Amino acid sequence: MADVGILAATKAAEQPVTALLDSPRGPKPVRRFSRSNIIIYGTLFVVALYYALPLYVMIVTSLKGMPEIRVGNIFAPPLEVTFQPWVKAWQEACTGINCDGLSRGFWNSFQILIPSVILSVAIASVNGYALSMWKFRGSEVFFTLLMIGAFIPYQVMLYPIVIMLREAGLYGSLTGLVLVHVAFGMPINTLLFRNYFASIPEELFKAARVDGAGFWAIFFRIMLPMSLPIFVVALIIQVTGIWNDFLFGVTFTSSPERYPMTVQLNNIVNSVQGVKEYNVNMAATLLTGLVPLVIYFASGKLFVRGIAAGAVKG
């Protein structure tokens, strides 16, 4: 048996040698303040600031009174917070002869949005499902034609559509506008759904057919429960697209009573008479942008959850 003291001494002498031999071992040390990290985070910070600043200015201005705005310091926080501009934008701002604020436009937009989104997503999902799973003779040609539709500029089609709606007796009505939105949302949403359904294994579809499920049974009972993520994506695209639309709204509605919110906002902000009420304009703009914002915030979580649910499919 060796002397414990000698053993300990040799051990101690060995330590630095083994430490050197062994030195790259375990996790690699992370350098938090490396040059590349500073560049990346610095750039991100500047870009974030660049995007956040206008929003900050808008919120701050909308909460100030006119005298304070005239002082001219747009970055300064309000000395006296007032919600009067918001109330005025919603209830009292005038467009033409109507002086009941943006609320009218809001309800118009709402009445356009709900049926347009439901119809376009419903039709596009069935389109995409049929084009990816039930290929028929000429289905590829059909799909190509639909895609070409996505590349023709809207302006080219405005006048023909006006005539078509007039002949159908729908010009100027919200129904006509809804139809236009549904038609124009079709190419991109069909593409979206087709590609999503094409990624679902074909064998699943075959198994369902062997199990005696038909076109609608497979769609509703097999495909739909698996497609939450793509429905959320389509929903986001359609809601923001239709809500933010200005061109169709101004073209296909005939009277100020039926103007969607965006058109009304434009009329309020661009009115040339009287004093420019910057605070009211800012509040009106924020109010108009609220719906897409809410959709992003609300469905963002749903979106992530949907993707997570899709990730564990069998």
Partner 1 sequence: MTLLNPSVSIKNLDLSFGAVKVLQNLNLDIGDGEFLVLLGSSGCGKSTLLNVIAGLLEPTDGQIWIKGRNVTWAEPSERGIGMVFQSYALYPQMTVEGNLTFGLRNARVPKAEIAKRVARAAEILQIEPLLKRKPGALSGGQRQRVAIGRALVRDVEVFLFDEPLSNLDAKLRADLRVELKRLHNNLQNTMIYVTHDQVEAMTLADRIAIMKGGKIMQLGTPAEIYGKPQNLYVADFIGSPSMTFFDGTVEGDVIRIPDHDLPLGTYEFAQRPASVRPAIIGIRPEHVMTGDNLRSAPYKAEVIADLVEPMGSDTLVHCAFGGQTMRVRMDGQAQVRAGDRLMIGIDPGAASLFDKETEARL
- Interface residue list for partner 1 (CB under 8 A): 201, 203-204, 206-213, 217, 221-222, 225-226, 312-314
- How are the residues of the chain apportioned to helix, strand and coil, as percentages rounded to the nearest 5? 75, 0, 25
> Min. distance of Cβ 117 from partner 1 in angstroms?
24
Cβ pair 119, 174 in contact under 8 A: no
> Min. distance of Cβ 15 from partner 1 in angstroms?
45
Q: Which is nearer to partner 1, 205 or 259 (CB)?
A: 205
| DSSP one-letter string for 155-190 | HHHHHHHHHHHHHTT-TBSHHHHHHHHHHHHHHHHH
> Min. distance of Cβ 310 from partner 1 in angstroms?
9
Q: Which is nearer to partner 1, 132 or 251 (CB)?
A: 132
Q: Which is nearer to partner 1, 176 or 306 (CB)?
A: 306
Q: Which is nearer to partner 1, 204 or 269 (CB)?
A: 204
Vertex 149 angle, CA 215 and 113, to 5°? 75
Q: How far apart are CA 313 and CA 129, in angstroms?
A: 18
Q: Which is nearer to partner 1, 70 or 137 (CB)?
A: 137
Q: How far apart are CA 300 and CA 293, in angstroms?
A: 10
246, two tokens = 């200005």
Beta strands in the chain (DSSP E): none
> Min. distance of Cβ 226 from partner 1 in angstroms?
6
> Residue 95 phi/psi, 5° resolution?
-125, 115
Q: Which is nearer to partner 1, 167 or 203 (CB)?
A: 203
Q: Which is nearer to partner 1, 63 or 208 (CB)?
A: 208
Taking residue 238's Cβ as centre, other Cβ atoms within 10 Å add up to 24
> Min. distance of Cβ 300 from partner 1 in angstroms?
23
> Min. distance of Cβ 211 from partner 1 in angstroms?
3
> Min. distance of Cβ 136 from partner 1 in angstroms?
12
Beta bridge pairs of residue 172: 253
Question: How big is the chain, counted in residues?
Answer: 314
Distance separating the N- and C-terminal Cα atoms of the chain = 62
Q: How far apart are CA 52 and CA 176, in angstroms?
A: 37
